[in-house]
């Protein structure tokens, strides 16, 4: 009887270990953080005279916050969303992806992925090396300028990303 109980106990422990490995714990973007990043990005661009739209997405590229500055063009909303989606899903800046696609013919096909927008202005939001979302900005007179505003927002809130 003790042997059967021991076998049953070992079997139960082995099964519970396998179940625990099937469950993952992931960090994600809170609504509060998304709103803070969006506000900071709009402010950073406004300081430079750029009227932009900002979209912040979570790790699954789902929209968490959107802000559109006064006088930002209507097209900037979709551009900011697509840049955030692209950056979060690829875990890279859209500027780096654009430059890579321009230099590498094999990467040029990235533009054919539905929803991807390879223009500068999408920047991953990371905690350590883990991507928990992304900021996408559209409306500055150049994607590199959109990216600078996103980086300024991340810098302003770097203490929240530890």
Q: Are the C-beta atoms of residues 42 and 13 closer than 8 Å to each other?
A: no
Q: Which domains does the chain have, with CATH numbers?
A: 27-161 (3.30.450.150)
Indicate whether 8 pLDDT > 90.
no
Q: Are the C-beta atoms of residues 65 and 32 closer than 8 Å to each other?
A: no
Q: Note the pLDDT of residue 18.
A: 53
- Sheet harboring 130-138: ordered strands across? 63-68, 53-58, 130-138, 122-127
Average pLDDT over residues 57-67: 97
CB atoms under 10 Å from CB of 123, counted, come to: 29
pLDDT in tens, 90-134: 999 999 999 999 999 999 899 999 999 999 999 999 999 999 999
Q: Note the pLDDT of residue 15.
A: 52
CB atoms under 10 Å from CB of 98, counted, come to: 22
Indicate whether 89 pLDDT > 80.
yes
Q: What percent of the chain has pLDDT over 90?
A: 83
pLDDT in tens, 35-51: 999 999 999 999 999 99
Q: Note the pLDDT of residue 6.
A: 47
Q: Note the pLDDT of residue 149.
A: 98
Q: For the whole model, what pTM was predicted?
A: 0.86
Burial class, 85, CB count within 10 angstroms (exposed 0-12 / middle 13-18 / buried 19+) = buried
């Amino acid at each position: 009887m003790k042997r059967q109980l021991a076998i049953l106990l070992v079997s139960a422990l082995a099964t519970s270990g396998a179940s625990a490995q099937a469950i993952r714990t992931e960090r994600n973007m809170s609504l509060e953080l998304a709103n803070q990043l969006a506000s900071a990005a709009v402010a950073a661009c406004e300081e430079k005279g750029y009227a932009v739209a900002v979209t912040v997405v979570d790790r699954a590229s789902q929209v968490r916050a959107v802000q559109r500055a006064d006088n930002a063009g209507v097209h900037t909303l979709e551009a900011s969303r697509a840049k955030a989606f692209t950056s979060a899903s690829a875990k890279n800046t859209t500027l780096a992806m654009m430059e890579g696609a321009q230099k590498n013919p094999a990467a040029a096909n990235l533009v054919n992925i539905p929803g991807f927008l390879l223009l500068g202005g999408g920047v991953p939001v990371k905690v350590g090396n883990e991507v928990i979302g992304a900021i996408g900005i559209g409306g500055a007179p150049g994607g590199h300028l959109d990216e600078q505003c996103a980086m300024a927002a991340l810098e302003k809130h770097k203490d929240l990303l530890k």
